[in-house]
Structure 1
Amino acid sequence: MSADTGWPAGTARQVLITTDSTMAEAARQAARLPGPTWICALEQTAARGRRGRAWAMPPGNFAASLVLRPDGPPGQAALRSFVAALALRDACVAATGRPGAFTLKWPNDVLLNGGKLAGILLESMGQGGRVDHLIIGIGVNLAAAPDPATLEPGAVPPVSLAGETGVTVTPEAFLDLLAPAYDARERQFTTLGFAPIRTAWLAHAARLGDTVTARTARDETTGIFRDVDMEGHLVLETPKGPTRIAAADIFF
């Protein structure tokens, strides 16, 4: 299986047999990379997700990090989590032909039939309020889902692409779908701004209009999921009025 649009011009590609984590490998290489680069690994020995959590990676699953040199302030760079989520959904639809099966969970997960299929992690490098490099890490349960017992209570149960759809895709073939999908969404973002990305993301948002709980290390807020604003914040309707949340874990 390969992408219809082909590999994006000007973007480099590395496929490693094994590494500690593609995020760590990307950070080590970032300063000397001449342009956008995908670093994919068939095995990770120390993968991690958001908030430093361990990320389980059974054999055959997808792990890759994209290194970019973005223009603009850190807040704009952070909006690429939505760009990546849309591109990841595009790639999943291209792999399966099932657009109705995939939804997006704020801030950076892709769901398949309501279960967690994939996660996205952003890390930036820079100084003086400037982002020199942005690393977008993506993990997808292509072949197998991790043990639900490893998750915190209330988390969305994990699923795999093969288990839910019967479609088998190798990590290399999935990268051939994801890279052009991301390139297209990145061009849309840099040309037209966040507005069309936000509109497209909301069109596929999981539990929009439903009651959800946003939980941080300090507190939690429960309300009706109404919107995502132009800064990428979650907007919940609560008894105290609209509440905007910059970062949290969402529980349904």
Structure 2
Amino acid sequence: MSTEGTLWPEGYDRIIFDRVDSTNAQAARIAGDLKRPTWIMARQQTAARGRRGKTWANPDGNLAATLVMKPGGPVADAAYRSFFAANALYETLALYVDRTRLSLKWPNDVLLNGGKVAGILLESAGNSEAVSWLAVGIGVNLQHAPKNVQDASFPPVALFEESGQSVTPDEFLNALAANFATEEAIFSKMGFEVIRENWLRHAARLGEVITARTSQEEITGIFQTIDAFGNLILKTAKGPIAIAAADVYF
């Protein structure tokens, strides 16, 4: 299915580079001069990174993009954009592959046939009261799954290799930007609850036993829900536990 006719969302700019160190790093460099939310896409990244300083491989033909914006509002609202991005990625990937093969892994991955097809990295600047700018970094394995990835609990997969659907980064970004703008509109009119409900509808292993590994401990329990703040809620023998940040395994 082609999305070439998808209109670029009103109110958003885009900049496309042949080569940068990372789109999130480039976002940080230009954030102060922004007039409108801006998507940055790069054909190649020389120093891509994922969560917690992990490297992110970016073979040719895959999507490397960052939305940089000045969202305003409470600091907590900025973190919700991770769920905006996950929902937008799900809907965009569902244009090319049966949605039953897709799922969302808390806090920021998209799975295809149980393998990691996309990841999200949020970075920001500001203080406890206000966010100066927010960067929503997104990597999608459109054509190739990175090789020789060490210690991957969810081995990387690629859309083309799993489905035979060949999608260019430009085409994918067009649809992704439109879907993200829709998430922003939903949030502005109805708040996080609708975003949350949509995310949970596609959540991986909801109602099943999973393990969350934080910087201090490992917690195993039934994945009950995510709360109004986006925290993972695990039902354990000690009762429900809310987890703000962790790596999830199942």
Shorter-chain TM-score: which interval?
Answer: over 0.9
Distance (Å, rounded) in 2 between the aligned partners of 1:105 and 1:213 = 12
2:150: which partner in 1?
151
- Measure how far apart 1:157 and its partner are: 1.3
- Scaled by the length of structure 1, the TM-score of the pair is 0.96
Query: Runs of 4+ in structure 1 displaced over 2 angstroms?
Result: 1-5, 149-153
RMSD over aligned CA atoms reads: 1.2
Distance (Å, rounded) in 2 between the aligned partners of 1:182 and 1:77 = 14
* Equivalent of residue 167 in structure 1, options 165, 168, 172: 165
Secondary structure of 1:88 counterpart: helix
Q: Which runs of 5+ in 1 are unaligned?
A: none
2:237: which partner in 1?
239
1:25: which partner in 2?
26
Residue pair 1:3, 1:180 contacting (<8 A) in 2 also: no
- Measure how far apart 1:190 and its partner are: 1.7
Secondary structure of 2:45 counterpart: coil
Distance (Å, rounded) in 2 between the aligned partners of 1:16 and 1:170 = 15
2:118: which partner in 1?
118
Distance (Å, rounded) in 1 between the aligned partners of 2:236 and 2:5 = 45
* Equivalent of residue 183 in structure 1, options 181, 184, 206: 181
Q: Which runs of 5+ in 2 are unaligned?
A: none
2:108: which partner in 1?
108
Report the AA paired with residue 236 of structure 2: T
Report the AA paired with residue 68 of structure 1: M
Distance (Å, rounded) in 2 between the aligned partners of 1:21 and 1:46 = 6
Report the AA paired with residue 39 of structure 1: I
Distance (Å, rounded) in 1 between the aligned partners of 2:249 and 2:23 = 27
Residue pair 1:145, 1:159 contacting (<8 A) in 2 also: yes
Residue by residue over 1:55-79, the C-alpha shift from the partner in whole angstroms, topping out at 9 and shown as x without a partner, is 0111111100001111211111101
Distance (Å, rounded) in 2 between the aligned partners of 1:89 and 1:150 = 23
Residue pair 2:235, 2:241 contacting (<8 A) in 1 also: yes
- Scaled by the length of structure 2, the TM-score of the pair is 0.96
Report the AA paired with residue 157 of structure 2: V
Report the AA paired with residue 170 of structure 1: T
1:66: which partner in 2?
67
Report the AA paired with residue 137 of structure 1: G
Report the AA paired with residue 223 of structure 1: G
1:93: which partner in 2?
94
1:41: which partner in 2?
42
Tell me how many residue pairs correspond in the alignment.
249
